[in-house]
Amino acid sequence: MKQRNFPEWSAEQAEYVEPTQVVRSFGYDVFANPVSDEAMQYNNDTFGCVLKVEGEIAQNKNAYENEDAASSDIKTMAEKFGAARAGITLVDQKYVYKGHDVPHRYAILMAVPMDYDEIKFGATERHVKEVLKIYAEAGHTAANLAEYIRDKGYPARAHSLRFEQLMMLPHAIAAGLGELGRHGSLINRELGCSFRLACVTTDLPLKMDSAIDEGIDDVCVTCNVCTDHCPGDAISGEKQTVRDETRWLVDTELCAPYWGSYYSCGICLEVCPFNAKALDGKYKKSFVERIKQIDIAERKADLKSGLQQTWQFVEKPEEKEAGWRNRVKGKGDTAILVGGVPMDGLPDEVYNMRELMGMEKIS
Ligand code: SF4
Ligand code: SF4
């Protein structure tokens, strides 16, 4: 992977760009292939959770005996609401997105498990359906926990896929939920990388956890399975320095064509051996069966041949109506950008993202 040094990497604060806009910024449609009604329902549900991120705080504080007791109860409740694992750390303002205000002291990070037997079908609708399903569940998990804390008299805000005011991944590492894998996702020994994150920020005094070292980074140094399987050759051979931190990095520009063309791809998650060890080996058999049958070269060639064309230029619609779609010229067929959401041409983030990446603007 070529060495990069985007100005954004050394900026004081991280800037939020919605993941699908990143893909669009490179000229690809996100829903290049239609998804099932069921998957779309999960997708809609992820947006629905945004309505519950904040709420009324109970007048009387229902205090805990001490921070240990509070943390223990919060973790128990997080599990009750769907998390397999929860960890607590301080909100790091360095990772609060520019233009957002997270006044709380604590961040509770939660790992909501995905079913490996679904996500093992990388680059298919089945994979993305499970991802969306779990993101919706994670949204509800965070919203329910935030409400529980507010009912105890403390401010609490839920963050999940469609409403994250802070970067969850570095907070999750600090809270002991896992180590960053070479494929750019979090891994822990208990869940492999078959999980998604949700977060609640609060001022309820809590006992903090610390980052863990389960030897995962050492495995990534020599494993390379995700690098070998990645159809876009987007997974780095070496760590790179981003925001003063030397870490594994996925080249978004190389990933985007596959992410956009094949249901958010996820082959890197499918093939990560930590999934075989997850949940006491629950997925070991299906992991081995799956990996054995993959002809890497054949799958890569197949996926490459089916990639969508990039946009050449975008036409802004003259009239906005409920349910209209942005039209994209230069690829033949009309392309769907965001179903049913009126936008004035492309969102600014698309243009900002291209600028950040040093690419020419789409005119
Ligand atoms: S596939 Fe191997 S190198 Fe890649 S993240 Fe998993 S353990 Fe690390
Ligand atoms: S999502 Fe697909 S293209 Fe992107 S890094 Fe993972 S394997 Fe590579």
Predicted confidence (pLDDT) per residue in 68-126, tens digit: 999 999 999 999 999 999 999 999 998 898 878 899 999 999 999 999 999 999 999 99
Ligand 1 site, residue 229, Cβ cutoff 6 A: no
User: Highest mean pLDDT: which of 22-31, 111-120, 315-324?
Assistant: 111-120
pLDDT reading at 339 higher than 90? no
The answer as to whether 309 is a domain residue is no
Q: Which residues pair with 134 in a beta bridge?
A: none
Q: Which long-range contacts (CB under 8 A, 24 or more apart) does 76-79 make?
A: 77/145, 77/148, 78/108, 78/110, 78/141, 78/145
Total structural domains within the chain: 1
In a domain, 133, yes or no: yes
Q: Strand 186-187 and strand 179-180: pairing?
A: antiparallel
Say what the pLDDT of residue 162 is.
80
181 within some domain: yes
The answer as to whether 329 is a domain residue is no
Tell me if 42 is assigned to some domain: yes
| Nearest-CA residue for atom 4 of ligand 2 | 255
Domain range for 177 is 35-202
Tell me which range, 80-94, 250-264, 306-320, is most confidently predicted by mean pLDDT.
80-94
Residue 359 lies in a domain: no
Which tops the pLDDT comparison, 291 or 26? 291
pLDDT digits (tens, 9 = 90+) for 281-312: 999 999 999 999 999 999 999 999 999 887 65
* Ligand nearest the Cα atom of residue 179: 1
**In angstroms, what is the span from residue 31 Cα to ligand 1's centroid?**
27
The token pair that represents 170 in the structure block: 């570095």
Pick the atom of ligand 1 nearest to 225's CA: 1
Residue 159 backbone dihedrals phi, psi, to 5 degrees: -125, 130
* Closest alpha carbon to 197 in 148, 161, 166, 157: 161
Instruction: Read off the CATH number of the domain in which 69 is found.
Output: 3.40.109
- Considering every ligand atom shown, identify the ligand nearest to the alpha carbon of residue 223 and give its number: 1
